[in-house]
Amino acid sequence: MTTRRLVLTRSAAVIGAASTGLLLPEIVRAQSDKVRVGFMLPYTGTFAQLGVAIENGFRMALNEQGGKLGGREVEFFKVDDESNPAKGIENATRLVQRDKVDVLVGTVHSGVQMGIHKVARDSGVLSLIPNAGVHVATRAQCAPNVFRTSFTNSQPTLALGKAMMERGHKKAVWITWNYAAGDEAFEGFEKSYTEAGGTIIKKLGLPFPNVEFQALLTEIASLNPDAVACFFAGGGAAKFLRDFAAAGLNKNIQLYGSGFLTEGVLDAAGDAANGVLTTMHYSDSLDTPRNKKFRLDYAKTFKLQPDVYAVQGYDTGLLLVKGANAVKGDLNNKPALYAAMNGAEIDSPRGKWKMSAAHNPIQDMYLRKVENKENKVIGIAQKAVADPATGCRMG
């Protein structure tokens, strides 16, 4: 159904209700109903753990409010998006039209996000992006009803190049999955590394979510760079770390990545991850009361260690709580809802961050090193990294 038809159908229903005297009970019902939250996340496949961590983090933020949003109870709807872009529009449409959610929370994969984004822009439903970094969502196609609490794909790698050059790694090979997230992570890496004076000797890739790395690792060995930089995440990242070490490459070649490489995979990767350097807007070892409390509460509640995805899910919940409290649960009051979320400052376990005019976080990027199954902070690689928001006309 097109947006226009949807609008016409809804207004026809309202007129019908008014003429039969049913309008008042209808409004009262709408106000006292539960807030309908739709999770569209991967619960299977290489990003399955990421989806679970995001949902857990989101629920934790709401639990801190007695499970309510602006005083209203909450009802959850869930769709496994399988990280499958071909089903993105259909899955998001199901949540909006069949389940009539007030807010869509999703997703992880940039390609699937484009499906959600189309549905969000067409329907006007509030869309909160807890991970997927696809640039256009907060650049040329930014929208008043779309807020991202995570990053743009080039934000972490914009902080990577200088750190690599400071360690004397002047010649690098880049490797990733060939899809939006990998391509855009490369954009940030290319800019920061070449501006710092580094040379990219080869760009390698394989289709998402393929994990047959062997031939590419053999090629890397023959190229003999100072360093390898990459974007991988989830189950595929764990496999890449293990294969890189098993091929003996970690002995002579320093491995770098955007921090997703070592998020939520350190048990699965074991010793293979030791010494890997990454840039990211969070680190397990951030020594702040805020982070320590979050980690303890999360571990107690879910019997799992939190990672960056859990933090992003949590921050998505915090943002929605802020908005919902400002409108006392009336999520239909969109101008006031968006005004409260626009420019919001979020007191996150990652450190305080501010929502940009294009609705993407302005945040510090930490340099981290894996030691004993933990991402240890070495320092701040870059402060207050903002996405350029090219083409966004908001704000």
- Tokens at residue 149, please? 């609490």
Is residue 331 a contact residue for ligand PHB (CB under 6 A)?
A: no
Nearer to ligand PHB, 111 or 329 (CB): 111
Q: Where are the beta strands (DSSP E) in the chain?
A: 35-41, 74-80, 103-105, 126-129, 146-148, 171-177, 199-206, 227-231, 254-258, 277-280, 345-348, 351-355, 361-371, 374-385
Write the interaction track for ligand PHB spanning residues 169-208; mark x where CB under 6 A is met and - where it is not.
Answer: ------------x---------------------------
Nearer to ligand PHB, 178 or 333 (CB): 178
Nearer to ligand PHB, 133 or 306 (CB): 133
The DSSP code for 34 is: P
Q: How far is the CB of 240 from ligand PHB (least distance, A)?
A: 13
Is residue 116 a contact residue for ligand PHB (CB under 6 A)?
A: no
Judged by CB under 6 A, which of 74, 105, 108, 159 binds ligand PHB? 108
Would you say 114 and 88 are in contact if contact means Cβ atoms under 8 Å apart? yes
Judged by CB under 6 A, which of 132, 142, 273, 385 binds ligand PHB? 132
Nearer to ligand PHB, 139 or 170 (CB): 139
Non-local (6+) Cβ contacts of 337 within 8 A are 126, 323, 324, 326, 327, 331
Q: How far is the CB of 264 from ligand PHB (least distance, A)?
A: 9
Q: How far is the CB of 280 from ligand PHB (least distance, A)?
A: 10
- In terms of DSSP bridges, do strands 277-280 and 361-371 run parallel, antiparallel, or are they unpaired? antiparallel
Q: How far is the CB of 263 from ligand PHB (least distance, A)?
A: 7
Would you say 62 and 318 are in contact if contact means Cβ atoms under 8 Å apart? no
The piece of 103-111, 194-202, 338-346, 365-373 that touches ligand PHB (CB under 6 A) is 103-111
Q: How far is the CB of 382 from ligand PHB (least distance, A)?
A: 18
Nearer to ligand PHB, 132 or 344 (CB): 132
Would you say 310 and 54 are in contact if contact means Cβ atoms under 8 Å apart? yes
Q: How far is the CB of 126 from ligand PHB (least distance, A)?
A: 20
Within positions 240 to 299, which residues make up the interface with ligand PHB, using CB under 6 A?
260
Nearer to ligand PHB, 256 or 260 (CB): 260
Judged by CB under 6 A, which of 49, 56, 149, 153 binds ligand PHB? 153
- Tokens at residue 51, please? 């989806």
Give the orientation angle of helix 308-326 with respect to helix 334-341, to 10 degrees. Answer: 140
Would you say 61 and 316 are in contact if contact means Cβ atoms under 8 Å apart? yes
| Secondary structure element (H or E) that encloses residue 48, with its range | helix 48-63
DSSP states of 211-246: ---HHHHHHHHHH--SEEEEE--HHHHHHHHHHHHH
Would you say 91 and 115 are in contact if contact means Cβ atoms under 8 Å apart? yes
Rounded distance between C-alpha atoms, residue 160 and residue 366, angstroms: 10
Judged by CB under 6 A, which of 114, 228, 229, 233 binds ligand PHB? 233
Judged by CB under 6 A, which of 91, 110, 149, 316 binds ligand PHB? 110
DSSP states of 96-152: IIIS--SEEE--S-HHHHHHHHHHHHHH--EEEESS---GGGGTTT--TTEEESS--
Size of residue set near ligand PHB by CB under 6 A: 11
The piece of 108-116, 238-246, 299-307, 316-324 that touches ligand PHB (CB under 6 A) is 108-116
Is residue 133 a contact residue for ligand PHB (CB under 6 A)?
A: yes
Residues contributing to the site for ligand PHB (CB under 6 A): 108-110, 131-134, 153, 181, 233, 260
